Amino acid sequence: MATTNPQARFGADLRLLPSLVATHSSRDPGNDLQVGTSRDGAQDLVTVDGADNLVQALILRLLTPVGDLDELGHPDYGSRLHELIGELNSQTNRNRLKMFTLQAFGGEPRIQQVLSLDVVQARDDRTRVDITASLKALDHDIPLNLVFPFFFEGGVPR
């Protein structure tokens, strides 16, 4: 009997982010389609698979404003996080950030359950918070952990 790789359930896709470690500078929308060199020296597009594919999909979902893919037939894809850019980094807005993140994760069919979700103020930057999530993916026993920095930029706590 052949055993199946549980990571295969997460699928494969083209790598669209230079790094899956979420940083502000790596979020430039111009960073698309990574090119790499294979063992035989050929140039090809880099792919991402397994849990890394799901992490990339979640990051892209959080970065995409809801409605941006409406013309492609996906009017509900994305998040509302962009609505908070420029707002004050207040408890109310951190709660809104948490709600918008939960809504975005709810649209990802590979996520069975959000085990925990915290929005934590960064110590070194008053406009930054880290969204820390632990997620249960479908048919997967090991929790998927994700840290996503969000920058209010311009809004500071009162």
Over its C-alpha atoms, the chain yields an Rg (Å, rounded) of 17
pLDDT band, residue 153 (cuts 50/70/90): confident
Q: Read off the CATH number of the domain in which 111 is found.
A: 3.10.450.40
> Which domain covers residue 74, as residue numbers?
6-151
CA dihedral 11, 12, 15, 16 (to 10 degrees): -50
> Is residue 43 situated within a structural domain?
yes
Please tell me the predicted confidence (pLDDT) of residue 29.
53
> Is residue 1 situated within a structural domain?
no
> Is residue 158 situated within a structural domain?
no
Q: What confidence tens digit (pLDDT) does each residue in 12-37 have? A: 666 666 666 655 444 555 556 666 77
Q: How many domains does the chain have?
A: 1
- Do residues 125 and 56 lie in contact, with contact meaning Cβ atoms separated by under 8 Å? no
> Is residue 75 situated within a structural domain?
yes
> Is residue 156 situated within a structural domain?
no
> Is residue 36 situated within a structural domain?
yes
Q: What confidence tens digit (pLDDT) does each residue in 48-105 have? A: 777 888 888 899 899 999 999 999 999 999 999 999 999 999 999 999 999 999 999 9
Kindly state the tokens that stand for 44.
């090809």
